[in-house]
Amino acid sequence: MAGGIGSRFWPMSTQKFPKQFQDILGVGRTMIQQTYDRISKLIPKEHIFVITNKEYVALSQQQLPEIPEENIVGEPLMKNTAACNLYMANKIAEINPDATMIVLPADHLILKEDVFLEKVELAFDLASKHDYLVTLGITPTRPDTGYGYIQFVEKKGSEYFKVKTFTEKPILEIAQNFLESGDFLWNAGIFIWNIKSIHHAFEMYLPEMMQHFMACEYNSENENSCIETIYPKVQKISIDNGILEKAKNVYVIPAILGWSDLGTWTSVYENTDKDENGNAVKLKHLLTYNSKGNIIRLKNNNKAVIIDGLENYIVVDTDKALLICPRDNDQLIKDYVLDLKSFK
Ligand code: GDD
Ligand code: MG
167 CB near ligand 1 (under 6 Å): no
If one residue of 81, 169, 234 were mutated to test the ligand 1 pocket, choosing by the most ligand atoms within 8 A of its CB, it would be 81
Which residue's CA is the closest to the ligand 1 atom numbered 33? 261
189 CB near ligand 1 (under 6 Å): yes
Distance from residue 3's CA to the centre of ligand 1 (Å): 8
Which residue's CA is the closest to the ligand 1 atom numbered 34? 189
Question: The pTM is what?
Answer: 0.89
Which residue's CA is the closest to the ligand 1 atom numbered 16? 105
Q: Which residues surround ligand 2, an ion (CB under 5 A)?
A: 261, 263
Give the number of the atom of ligand 1 that is nearest the alpha carbon of residue 261: 33
Per-residue pLDDT at 15: 86
4 CB near ligand 1 (under 6 Å): yes
If one residue of 71, 259, 261 were mutated to test the ligand 1 pocket, choosing by the most ligand atoms within 8 A of its CB, it would be 261
Per-residue pLDDT at 285: 85
Q: Which residues contact 211 (CB under 8 A, 6 or more apart)?
A: none
CA quadruple 29, 83, 342, 58: dihedral sign: positive
Q: Spell out, as residue ranges, where the chain has pLDDT lower than 70.
A: 344
Per-residue pLDDT at 344: 60
Q: Which residues contact 238 (CB under 8 A, 6 or more apart)?
A: 80, 81, 82, 168
Question: Residue 273 CB: number of other CB atoms within 10 A?
Answer: 7
13 CB near ligand 1 (under 6 Å): no
What separation in angstroms does the CA of 271 have from each of 140, 203, 243, 307?
15, 40, 31, 22
103 CB near ligand 1 (under 6 Å): no
ipTM: 0.99
Distance from C-alpha of 76 to C-alpha of 282, rounded to nearest angstrom: 38
187 CB near ligand 1 (under 6 Å): yes
Distance from C-alpha of 158 to C-alpha of 265, rounded to nearest angstrom: 35
Distance from C-alpha of 143 to C-alpha of 160, rounded to nearest angstrom: 23
Inter-residue contact 191 to 212 (CB < 8 Å) = no
If one residue of 1, 53, 141, 337 were mutated to test the ligand 1 pocket, choosing by the most ligand atoms within 8 A of its CB, it would be 1
240 CB near ligand 1 (under 6 Å): yes
Distance from residue 132's CA to the centre of ligand 1 (Å): 21
Distance from residue 71's CA to the centre of ligand 2 (Å): 22
Per-residue pLDDT at 115: 97
